[in-house]
Structure 1
């Protein structure tokens, strides 16, 4: 799993119990999944189609640092399926796991757009490939 994003838990991220508000965490996860999928599918019109069961296993409190991990698990015709894990860097506990997040690339009319991808590509490789042309 690749952990690209870290978040510092601030007072505005807390619920009335004084721990990380689940809705805020889901917002961050959805944004991270979207950014990952947009880069992989090379389509800025990529949207969330499905998020599987969410299992909150631990929490975080003000001042903690969490990290969000995303891993691709499958390419569909117009979609990419991702797995997600969020960890608390301070306690080393897993906060949440999500087995499937399905992101779909759309065309200018809002319809699913086939992407032709079958494996993960890294931007550095795309840049190197374009320089060789």
Structure 2
């Protein structure tokens, strides 16, 4: 699993207990997973289909640095499944894990569209290019 995105936990990201608000973390993961799906599916129109059970294992405090990791686990005809992990760079503890996140590539009308991919890419070659 590659950990590319890092976030700095700021005061506006905290809950009433002074720790990282789960909703903020889930928003960051959903955004990161959407970007990953866009690159893997070569389609800038993707939607979240499913997020499985979320296992919160530790937390983060103001000033902590966290990093998010994603890995594609399965390509469907129109979808991509992945796993996610978030860890605290300061305490070195895993903050959460999600075993399955599914994104679906759609067209302008929101209809699922086949993508034709079966392997992970580490390039940006799948990104659609604007037509002249």
Cα deviations across residues 44-76 of structure 1 (Å, max 9, x unaligned)? 110100000001000000000000000100000
Cα deviations across residues 77-129 of structure 1 (Å, max 9, x unaligned)? 000001000000000000000000000000111111000000012226669xx
Greater percentage in helix: 1
Structure 2: stretches of 5+ with no match in the other structure: 128-132
Correspondence for 1:80:
80
Q: Is 1:103 equivalent to 2:79 in the alignment?
A: no
Q: TM-score, normalised by structure 2?
A: 0.93
User: Are residues 112 and 124 of structure 1, via their aligned partners in 2, closer, same or farther at CA, if it must alter by over 3 Å?
Assistant: closer
CA RMSD of aligned residues (A): 1.3
| Aligned pairs, number | 127
Q: Is 1:62 equivalent to 2:62 in the alignment?
A: yes
Q: Which segments of structure 1 move beyond 3 Å, counting only runs of 4 or more?
A: 124-127
